[in-house]
């Protein structure tokens, strides 16, 4: 069943109500704001839509191309898995059409910006992450980060033989059978609210868990399931 605009709004309202009951780690309740809750509701809808996309295509959207607007989270709207473009954007993302065009040298019009831009594309997890939680941009970067630097643990996630490839446990969306604990994307737009404390990004997982993840202490490379997550699927021992 496809997600209609009314259904997205209903799901978002329900998700907000559910997420409002979530207690963030000690010292972080001051950032548990209405915009943050709405962002987490958007991520919840995106996680569900990602599953529908995988059912349709047998895999996940490719990395986002900022020139064409294809791929990434935006592909979920293009594939009619999301019917409301509001879900593509974090309420605290200040990006404008003019700013986007200046940054990327594009000449998008408002309609293109509305359907192609998403706050969640920049952190979209296709090739995995580096230690800071920044997405890797190519197969070569993934091989270097996982098989080259992580020793035995990396080899469980990425084969070392030429040309090298993601294993069944690889936590990136290049893997069409990625485990439920795999991060889809995380939202950095709330970080200015964390003054003097470690930022915690709202994060969407394939298993539809939506959790606040400590940016500097989480192991973004191997992506172990956070406490309380209902993740399943093949993982390194």
Cα-based distances in Å from 12 to 5, 41, 82: 10, 5, 12
* pLDDT category of residue 47 using cuts at 50, 70 and 90: very high
Burial of 87 (0-12, 13-18, 19+ CB in 10 A): buried
Q: What DSSP line would sit under 11-49, residue for residue?
A: HHHHHHHHHTTPPPSTT-GGG--HHHHHHHHHHHHHHHH
Examine the pLDDT at 234 and tell me if it is beyond 70: no
Tell me how many degrees the CA angle 182-200-70 measures, rounded to the nearest 5: 50
| DSSP annotation of 114 | H
* pLDDT category of residue 44 using cuts at 50, 70 and 90: very high
**Once rounded to an integer, what is the mean pLDDT over residues 163-170?**
83
Examine the pLDDT at 235 and tell me if it is beyond 50: no
- Indicate the helix (H) or strand (E) that contains 210: strand 210-214
State the pLDDT at residue 153: 72
Residues 178-216: tens digit of each pLDDT: 999 999 999 999 999 998 899 999 999 998 889 999 999
**Once rounded to an integer, what is the mean pLDDT over residues 62-79?**
98
Domain residue spans in the chain? 5-133+172-214
d(CA 24, CA 32): 7
Examine the pLDDT at 57 and tell me if it is beyond 70: yes
State the pLDDT at residue 185: 98
Output the CA torsion 223→225→229→233 (10° steps).
Answer: 100
d(CA 45, CA 80): 13
Task: Please give the model's pTM, rounded to 2 decimal places.
Answer: 0.84
**Once rounded to an integer, what is the mean pLDDT over residues 169-184?**
94
State the pLDDT at residue 83: 87
Residue among 132, 113, 112, 121 nearest 43 (CA): 121
- Indicate the helix (H) or strand (E) that contains 200: strand 200-205
* pLDDT category of residue 46 using cuts at 50, 70 and 90: very high
Torsion sign, CA atoms 25, 28, 29, 35: negative
Torsion sign, CA atoms 48, 76, 88, 225: positive
d(CA 179, CA 126): 13
**Range in 10-14, 139-143, 161-165 with the lowest mean pLDDT:** 10-14
Partners of 211 in the β-ladder: 203
Residues 107-162: tens digit of each pLDDT: 999 999 999 999 999 999 999 999 999 999 999 899 888 886 666 677 789 887 65
**Once rounded to an integer, what is the mean pLDDT over residues 48-73?**
97
d(CA 208, CA 231): 9
**Once rounded to an integer, what is the mean pLDDT over residues 30-50?**
89
State the pLDDT at residue 22: 45
């Amino acid at each position: 069943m496809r997600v209609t605009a009314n259904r997205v709004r209903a799901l978002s309202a329900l998700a907000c109500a559910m997420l409002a009951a979530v207690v963030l780690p000690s010292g972080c309740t001051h950032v548990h704001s209405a915009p943050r809750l709405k962002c987490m509701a958007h991520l919840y809808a995106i996680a569900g839509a990602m599953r529908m996309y995988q059912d349709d295509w047998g895999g996940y959207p490719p990395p986002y191309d900022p020139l064409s607007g294809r791929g990434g989270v935006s592909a979920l709207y293009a594939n009619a898995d999301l019917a409301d473009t509001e879900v593509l954007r974090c309420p605290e993302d200040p990006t404008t059409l003019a700013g986007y065009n200046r940054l990327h040298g594009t000449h998008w019009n408002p309609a293109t910006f509305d359907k192609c831009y998403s706050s969640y594309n920049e952190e979209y997890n296709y090739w995995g992450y580096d230690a800071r939680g920044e997405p890797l941009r190519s197969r070569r970067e993934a091989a270097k980060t996982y098989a080259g630097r992580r020793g035995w643990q990396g080899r469980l996630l990425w084969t070392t033989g030429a040309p090298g490839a993601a294993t069944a446990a690889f936590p990136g969306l290049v893997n069409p059978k990625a485990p439920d604990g795999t991060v889809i994307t995380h939202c950095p737009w709330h970080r200015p609210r964390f003054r003097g404390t470690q930022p915690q990004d709202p994060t969407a997982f394939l298993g539809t868990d939506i959790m606040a993840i400590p940016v500097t202490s989480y192991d973004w490379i191997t992506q172990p399931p956070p406490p309380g997550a209902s993740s399943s699927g093949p993982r390194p021992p």
